[in-house]
Structures are given as structure tokens and as C-alpha cells.
Amino acid sequence: LIKDPKDVNLELKINGEIRQQGKADCMIFDIPELLEYTSQFFTLYPGDLILTGTPEGVSQVVKGDELVSRLFLDDGSVDVQMTNTVQ
């Protein structure tokens, strides 16, 4: 459980290189708003991720790239690893 969704640090690595870093309170749409909007179109389940991206660090992602998203929380961090399947 995240006590304060605005007090979350976010990071995205592509092939081991940090490409994006930021804090949730700097997002245009806050996390509860994103969840509410997204859930209008998709059923969300525990463990689902909604990746929105940011202008900073934007670059091309190609087939086989390894993306690692990380949420830093007060009581630890949550890592999610995924491999891009763009063809």
C-alpha cells in the first residue's frame, strides 16, 4: 500500500542505463487520476502497471530492449522488469 501517491520516486532504465527519473508529484496527472481514467477502459488487477512516459529522457525503444521500471517507496522499492516486444 502506498501511503501518499505523490511521494513516490520513479525511475526507468533501458538496457541498464537510467533514461528517466522523477517524482510522482511532478506528473501532470496524479496517480489516482490515472487509475480512475484507465479503469474506464481496462480492468486493472493487482500488479498491473500503467506506464505513461515523460518528455525527459524520451528516446526510441527497439526490439529486444530491456526496460526496468522502479518505484522507490519509504519502506523499500518495487522493481518490475519487462522486455520490449516491438517488432
* pLDDT single digits (tens) 19-77: 888 888 888 898 899 999 999 999 999 878 787 766 666 678 888 888 888 888 767 77
Residue 4 has pLDDT above 90, yes or no: no
Whether 70 contacts 79, CB under 8 Å: yes
Q: Helix (H, G, I), strand (E, B), or coil: what is residue 58? A: coil
| End-to-end Cα spacing for the chain | 35
In this prediction the pTM is 0.70
Rounded to whole angstroms, how far apart are CA atoms 50 and 33? 12
Contact indicator for 52, 39 with CB cutoff of 8 Å: no
Of 26, 18, 6, 2, give the one whose Cα is nearest residue 68.
18
